[in-house]
Amino acid sequence: MTVTREPASNDDLTQFVKIAIGTGGHEHTYPGATVPFGMVQLSPDTYNDGWDWCSGYHHSDSSIMGFSHTHLSGTGVGDMLDVLLMPRTGKTRIVPGTREKPEEGYRSRFDHADEVAEPGYYSVLLRDYDIRAELSATERAGIHRYTFPINERSHFILDLGHCYGNSPDTVLWAELRAKNNDTIFGGRSTAGWAQGREIYFAMKFSKPFREFDIYSDDTKLSPGTKEAKGKRLKCVIRYQTSPGEVILVKSGLSGVSAEAALKNLETEIPDWDFDHVRQAAHKSWQRELSRVRIETSNQKQQEIFYTALYHMMLAPTLFDDVDGQYRGMDGKVHSLPAGMHNYSTFSLWDTYRATHPLYTLTQAHRVPDFVNCLIRMAEESPAGMPVWPLQAKETGCMTGYHSAAVIAEACAKKFPHLDLQKAYPLMRKRALEDDYRGLGWYRKLGYIPADKEEESASKTLEYAYDDWAVAHVAQAVGATEDAKLLRERSKNYRNLFDSKQLFLRARLEHGDWAEPFDPRGMGHFKKWRDYTEANSWETTFGIQHDVKGCIDLFGSRENFVKRLDTLFNQSSELPPDAPPDIAGMVGQYAHGNEPCHHIAYLYAYAGTPYKTQERVHYLLEKLYDNQPDGLAGNEDCGQMSAWYVISALGFYPVDPVSGNYVFGTPLFDRAELTLNNGKKLVVEAKRSSPEDKYIQAIHFNGQPHSKIWFHHADLANGAKIVFHMGSQPNKTFCSEESAAPPSLSS
C-alpha 349/C-alpha 378 separation (Å) is 16
Q: What rounded mean pLDDT belongs to the chain?
A: 97
C-alpha 235/C-alpha 184 separation (Å) is 10
Residue-wise pLDDT for 290-325, tens only, equals 999 999 999 999 999 999 999 999 999 999 999 999
Does residue 674 contact residue 567 with C-beta atoms inside 8 Å? no
Q: Under DSSP, is residue 161 helix (H, G, I), strand (E, B) or coil?
A: coil
Does residue 461 contact residue 543 with C-beta atoms inside 8 Å? yes
User: What is the predicted pLDDT for the residue at 526?
Assistant: 85
Residue-wise pLDDT for 511-524, tens only, equals 999 999 999 999 99
Confidence of residue 4 (pLDDT cuts 50, 70, 90): low
Residue-wise pLDDT for 380-389, tens only, equals 999 999 999 9
Going from N- to C-terminal start, the domains of the chain cover 13-289, 346-739
Q: Which of 242, 248, 177 lies closest to 208, judged by CA?
A: 248
Does residue 135 contact residue 234 with C-beta atoms inside 8 Å? no
User: What is the predicted pLDDT for the residue at 147?
Assistant: 98
Task: Please check the confidence at residue 586 and state whether its pLDDT lies above 80.
Answer: yes
The H-or-E segment that residue 622 falls in is: helix 609-622
User: What is the predicted pLDDT for the residue at 6?
Assistant: 57
User: What is the predicted pLDDT for the residue at 7?
Assistant: 57
Q: Residue 313 — φ and ψ, nearest 5°?
A: -105, 20
The residue-averaged pLDDT of 36-41 equals: 98
In a 13 Å sphere around the CA of 473, the CA atoms on its Cβ side amount to 27
**Residue 746 identity:** S
Does residue 187 contact residue 171 with C-beta atoms inside 8 Å? no
Q: Under DSSP, is residue 195 helix (H, G, I), strand (E, B) or coil?
A: strand
Helices 355-362 and 403-412, packing angle to 10 deg: 30
CATH code assigned to 13-289: 2.70.98.10
Sequence-distant (6+) residues with CB within 8 A of 211 are 236, 237, 238
Percent of all residues in the chain with a pLDDT value above 70, rounded to a whole number: 99
C-alpha 630/C-alpha 623 separation (Å) is 8
Beta-bridged to residue 294, according to DSSP, are 671
Range list of β-strands (E), 17-170: 43-45, 63-64, 66-68, 84-88, 108-109, 116-118, 121-126, 131-137, 141-148, 151-159
Confidence of residue 525 (pLDDT cuts 50, 70, 90): confident
Confidence of residue 10 (pLDDT cuts 50, 70, 90): confident
User: What is the predicted pLDDT for the residue at 9?
Assistant: 66
Residue-wise pLDDT for 694-736, tens only, equals 999 999 999 999 999 999 999 989 999 999 999 999 999 999 9
Sequence-distant (6+) residues with CB within 8 A of 113 are none
In a 13 Å sphere around the CA of 113, the CA atoms on its Cβ side amount to 1
**Residue 572 identity:** S
User: Which residue intervals of 325-366 are DSSP H helices?
Assistant: 348-351, 355-362
Alpha carbon dihedral 496, 499, 504, 507, in 10-degree steps, equals: -40
Confidence of residue 26 (pLDDT cuts 50, 70, 90): very high
Residue-wise pLDDT for 608-646, tens only, equals 999 999 999 999 999 999 999 999 999 999 999 999 999
Task: Please check the confidence at residue 1 and state whether its pLDDT lies above 80.
Answer: no
Residue-wise pLDDT for 430-446, tens only, equals 999 999 999 999 999 99
User: What is the predicted pLDDT for the residue at 666?
Assistant: 98
**Cis amide linkage into residue 628, ω under 30° from 0:** no
Task: Please check the confidence at residue 145 and state whether its pLDDT lies above 90.
Answer: yes
User: What is the predicted pLDDT for the residue at 482?
Assistant: 98
Q: Do domains 13-289 and 346-739 have the same CATH topology?
A: no
Residue-wise pLDDT for 186-224, tens only, equals 999 999 999 999 999 999 999 999 999 999 999 999 999
User: What is the predicted pLDDT for the residue at 337?
Assistant: 94
Residue-wise pLDDT for 79-134, tens only, equals 999 999 999 999 999 999 999 999 999 999 999 999 999 999 999 999 999 999 99
CATH code assigned to 346-739: 3.30.2080.10
Task: Please tell me which residue, 4 or 156, carries the higher pLDDT value.
Answer: 156
Could you tell me the maximum CA-CA distance found in the chain, to the nearest angstrom? Answer: 83
The residue-averaged pLDDT of 571-585 equals: 94
Residue-wise pLDDT for 327-384, tens only, equals 999 999 999 999 999 999 999 999 999 999 999 999 999 999 999 999 999 999 999 9
Confidence of residue 168 (pLDDT cuts 50, 70, 90): confident
Confidence of residue 3 (pLDDT cuts 50, 70, 90): low
